[in-house]
């Protein structure tokens, strides 16, 4: 595919091969963008932002609504692109494509809702004859940088709100998975988005990222990816707004009144979908002593039913990891945990880019498999004796993106909600759950700012305060 730059589709002699994580075959190629291309993108986006600022909310709504309809019509095609470049099973690709269209539909609605506020200034002492109100305006140029694991869905969480808010956006998708983003941009342009207002530059983040993120013409960066790259971007960004959607090692607390079979089903879905490569994957199960054994039995039996193979084959339940180096890293972390005294109950074998779904029990909190982000198909289980210990352990991390508890006890559930430091809190489900309209984002080193079209539009607009001094 070509990249969308300067308002047109552009090719380059230098290419990047997009490889299937399943068999290493070349799915497609994309141009290898460089810092000069970023300059072109910025100059074009300046024009795009001016065009967008002249459009009415209803015009922006109409474009986004059309994009969403086109996405729904081409959902199967989008799902297959996702699966071929990312390696998740087709069933998950289909869910991602459906949700992506919904995000754009939600964004379309937000295009009509850039509300301001009347401020009752006479509430301040001695103030009379003044009329004050706020107006919300687009921030101008948005840079949207996205990771490999949801190559369409997460791009929609950036492009949809940016266009709804009246901005121009420059997308920088992950080098492993740029095809879904390029396909999305095709649909945006076809639906009538001014071509200067949506660009997609393909190329290595390490080579083009700084040119994009440090430039003062960019007024807002919305980044989803790893903690370390996020921190680097914050350093180079300077004085501009940033939203950071970063990683996690999400905990799931299991209290003794929970149903072990129900928890096992949720933990399996939550820990192993997309081969564990989800920012809110359940990584650390913290189970009460009185349910520990029963839960492990049920969990093992569920996890052993996950078949691995070609993600395009319908019966396959789990695909490969994105890169072989990641499969090696996960299997090394599993081995280190075993060497440190954890028990490998099932899985953990590496075959090329696959790691078979692994459960480790007796995991100690200071093991790497517990305290760093695994981002792979391995779940560790640790035993605790009461709710205090469970909450302390859940919080014993620099991350805070998603956390869960299984219990029927409202006091335990409420303590969990109040005391666990996490942006998303699930009671009686696993950590991996998201509705795209909710305010979604992490605490601590899992990031800052919220996504979900309503909230992202807020973060992609500026508030101006106007005061009429009346005679
Ligand atoms: P990553 O390595 O951090 O890459 C994310 C994006 O940043 C890619 O587009 C990458 O480009 C780009 N990038 C790399 N260096 C850059 C630089 N110096 N300046 C600007 N951009 C740069 O993350 P990943 O491996 O793709 O994704 C996995 C991570 O994303 C995990 O930590 C996961 O938890 C996190 N994540 C978080 C959420 C959330 O909502 N909180 C959702 C999904 C994933 P290249 O591909 O060219 O390197």
Give residue-wise pLDDT tens across range 294-333: 999 999 999 999 999 999 999 999 999 999 999 999 999 9
Q: What is the pLDDT of residue 130?
A: 97
Query: What is the percent of the chain where pLDDT is above 90?
Result: 100
Residue of 139, 156, 200, 279 marked catalytic:
279
Q: What is the pLDDT of residue 397?
A: 98
Is 245 designated active site?
yes
Integer Cα distance of 53 and 59 in angstroms: 11
What 3-state class would DSSP assign to 33? coil
> According to the 3-state scheme, what is the secondary structure of 43-109?
HHHHHHHHHHHHCCHHHHHHHHHHHHHHHHHCHHHHHHHHHHHHCCCHHHHHHHHHHHHHHHHHHHH
Give residue-wise pLDDT tens across range 156-205: 999 999 999 999 999 999 999 999 999 999 999 999 999 999 999 999 99
Confidence of residue 135 (pLDDT cuts 50, 70, 90): very high
Residue among 96, 148, 205 whose CB has most ligand 1 atoms within 8 A, to mutate: 205
229 CA to centre of ligand 1 in angstroms: 7
Domain boundaries, the chain: 3-246+444-469, 251-427
Integer Cα distance of 194 and 185 in angstroms: 11
Atom of ligand 1 nearest to the CA of 147: 26
Average pLDDT value for the chain: 98
Give residue-wise pLDDT tens across range 212-250: 999 999 999 999 999 999 999 999 999 999 999 999 999
Protein residue with least CA distance to atom 43, ligand 1: 279
Q: What is the pLDDT of residue 87?
A: 98
Integer Cα distance of 185 and 455 in angstroms: 22
The CATH classification number of 251-427 equals 3.40.309.10
Integer Cα distance of 21 and 116 in angstroms: 47
Residue of 85, 196, 245, 459 marked catalytic:
245
Atom of ligand 1 nearest to the CA of 228: 3
Give residue-wise pLDDT tens across range 419-448: 999 999 999 999 999 999 999 999 999 999
Please state, as a whole number, how many other Cβ atoms lie within 10 Å of the Cβ of residue 356: 18
**Does the C-beta of 233 come closer than 6 Å to ligand 1?**
yes
**Does the C-beta of 35 come closer than 6 Å to ligand 1?**
no
The CATH classification number of 3-246+444-469 equals 3.40.605.10
Q: What is the pLDDT of residue 89?
A: 98
**Does the C-beta of 136 come closer than 6 Å to ligand 1?**
no
Give residue-wise pLDDT tens across range 252-268: 999 999 999 999 999 99
350 CA to centre of ligand 1 in angstroms: 24
Confidence of residue 358 (pLDDT cuts 50, 70, 90): very high
Protein residue with least CA distance to atom 23, ligand 1: 225
Is 373 designated active site?
no
**Does the C-beta of 174 come closer than 6 Å to ligand 1?**
yes
What 3-state class would DSSP assign to 150? coil
């Amino acid at each position: 595919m070509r990249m969308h730059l300067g308002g047109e589709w552009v090719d380059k002699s230098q290419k990047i091969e997009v490889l299937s994580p399943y068999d290493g075959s070349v799915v497609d190629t994309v141009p290898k963008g460089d810092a000069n291309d970023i300059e072109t993108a910025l100059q074009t986006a300046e024009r795009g932002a001016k065009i967008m600022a002249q459009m009415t909310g209803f015009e922006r709504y109409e474009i986004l609504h059309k994009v969403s309809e086109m996405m729904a019509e081409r959902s199967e095609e989008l799902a297959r692109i996702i699966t071929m470049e990312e390696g998740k099973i087709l069933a998950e690709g289909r869910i991602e494509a459906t949700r992506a269209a919904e995000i754009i539909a939600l964004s379309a609605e937000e295009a009509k809702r850039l509300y301001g506020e009347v401020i009752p200034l006479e509430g301040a002492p001695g103030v009379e004859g003044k009329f004050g109100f706020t107006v919300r305006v687009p921030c101008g140029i948005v840079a949207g940088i996205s990771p490999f694991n949801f190559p369409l869905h997460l791009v929609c969480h950036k492009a949809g709100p940016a266009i709804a808010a009246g901005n121009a956006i420059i997308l920088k998708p992950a080098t492993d998975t740029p095809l879904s983003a390029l396909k999305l941009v095709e649909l945006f342009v076809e639906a009538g988005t001014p071509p200067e207002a949506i660009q997609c530059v393909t190329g290595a983040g390490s080579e083009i990222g700084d040119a994009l993120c440090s430039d003062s013409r960019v007024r807002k960066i919305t980044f989803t990816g790893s903690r370390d790259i996020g921190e680097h971007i914050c350093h180079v960004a300077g004085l501009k707004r940033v939203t950071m959607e970063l990683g996690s090692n999400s905990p799931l607390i299991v209290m003794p009144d929970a149903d072990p079979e129900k928890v096992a089903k949720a933990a399996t879905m939550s820990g192993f979908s997309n081969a564990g490569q989800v920012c809110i994957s359940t990584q650390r199960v913290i189970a009460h002593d009185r349910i520990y054994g029963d839960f492990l039995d049920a969990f093992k039996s569920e996890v052993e039913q996950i078949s691995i193979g070609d993600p395009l084959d319908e019966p396959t339940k789990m695909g490969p990891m994105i890169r072989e180096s990641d499969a090696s890293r996960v299997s090394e972390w599993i081995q280190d945990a075993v060497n440190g005294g954890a028990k490998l109950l099932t899985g953990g074998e590496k075959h090329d880019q696959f790691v078979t779904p692994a459960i480790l029990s007796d995991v100690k909190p200071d093991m790497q498999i517990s305290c760093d982000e695994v981002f792979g198909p391995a779940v560790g289980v640790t035993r605790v004796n009461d709710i205090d210990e469970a909450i302390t352990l859940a919080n014993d991390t620099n991350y805070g993106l998603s956390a869960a508890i299984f219990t029927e006890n409202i006091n335990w559930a409420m303590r969990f909600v109040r005391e666990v430091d996490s942006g998303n809190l699930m009671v009686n489900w696993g950590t991996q759950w998201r509705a795209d309209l909710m305010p979604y984002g992490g605490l601590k080193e899992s990031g800052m700012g919220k996504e979900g079209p309503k909230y992202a539009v807020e973060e992609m607009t500026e508030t101006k305060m106007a005061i009429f001094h009346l005679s």
